[in-house]
Amino acid sequence: MKKLKVVAFDADDTLWINEPLFQQTERRFCDMLEDFLPHHTISQELLKTEIQNLKHYGYGTKSFMLSMIETAISISGKAIGVELIEKIIALGKEQLNAPVEILTGIPEVLDQLHGKYKLIMATKGDLLEQERKLKRSGLEHYFHHVEIVSEKNEAEYERIIKHLDIAPENFLMIGNSLKSDVVPVLNIGGYGFHIPYHTTWEYEKIDIKIENPKFRQLENIAEVLKYIV
């Protein structure tokens, strides 16, 4: 990794806790609708709706909120009233305003890397929501550059690398999603470090065995320092 110049970090469930907030909100949503269907069935219907709506709303809490409303209308046979819709909106607003909880070891690793490499944050999601989380996290000063994109794929990473005026072999992406953070970067010739989080959104799960010299499977964020410091 002698040519490494830029280290990019995913945000949600890499820098700070995210998926548990969605799961907590989803459980409360299912409680609201348990008169219509069992919890597991409501969750399945919600996931279907979320995936169908990605092309319309993208990722993030606001998209999730709209999908909850749509799912509630559907599974209730349009029987829900304004009061329940207001409760769903309140759930979404509560999640949007939740404290940002930094994952263990993140500040220490960023301290070690800051000044040695150009650090960037590369995340997908809602622009306003991710900007707010970054500001509330207190980590903003570590990053030379921030990318908040609608999707993380080969084309998007190529655009980022071109914008940074570097080659793929100068770029390392660190994140909890093989699908979004690692595989696309490896496919274009960059480095990818995977640090799994204890829970992952179903849509991000892939079953794949990676055999690539530019790939590392890590147990925690501190292990990054063994390879690039």
**Would you say 223 and 110 are in contact if contact means Cβ atoms under 8 Å apart?**
no
**Would you say 182 and 192 are in contact if contact means Cβ atoms under 8 Å apart?**
yes
Q: Where are the alpha helices (DSSP H) in the chain?
A: 19-32, 39-57, 61-75, 82-96, 106-113, 127-137, 154-164, 183-187, 224-228
Summarised one tens digit per residue, pLDDT across range 126-146 is 999 999 999 999 999 999 999
Architecture of the domain made up of 6-16+101-228: 3-Layer(aba) Sandwich (3.40)
Looking at 3.90.79.10, 3.40.50.300, 1.10.150.240, 3.30.450.20, the CATH number of the domain 19-96 comes to 1.10.150.240
Q: Which of 196, 198, 159 is closest to 10 using CA atoms?
A: 196
* Total Cβ atoms within 10 A of residue 11: 23
Question: pLDDT at position 206, please?
Answer: 82
Q: Mean pLDDT by 10-residue block, N- to C-terminus, for the chain (229 residues)?
A: 93 96 98 96 97 95 98 96 97 98 98 97 96 98 96 96 97 96 97 91 81 95 93
16 phi, psi to nearest 5 deg: -145, 165
Question: pLDDT at position 163, please?
Answer: 96
Question: pLDDT at position 205, please?
Answer: 76
Q: Can you give the residue ranges of every domain in the chain?
A: 6-16+101-228, 19-96
Tokens 């410091």 locate to 229
Give me the residues paired with residue 114 across strands: 117
Question: pLDDT at position 207, please?
Answer: 80
Q: 158: burial class by Cβ within 10 Å (0-12, 13-18, 19+)? A: middle
Summarised one tens digit per residue, pLDDT across range 22-66 is 999 999 999 999 999 999 999 999 999 999 999 999 999 999 999
Percent of the chain with pLDDT over 70: 100
pTM for the full model?
0.94
Q: Is 16 helix (H, G, I), strand (E, B) or coil?
A: strand
Q: Which of 200, 217, 225 is closest to 17 using CA atoms?
A: 200
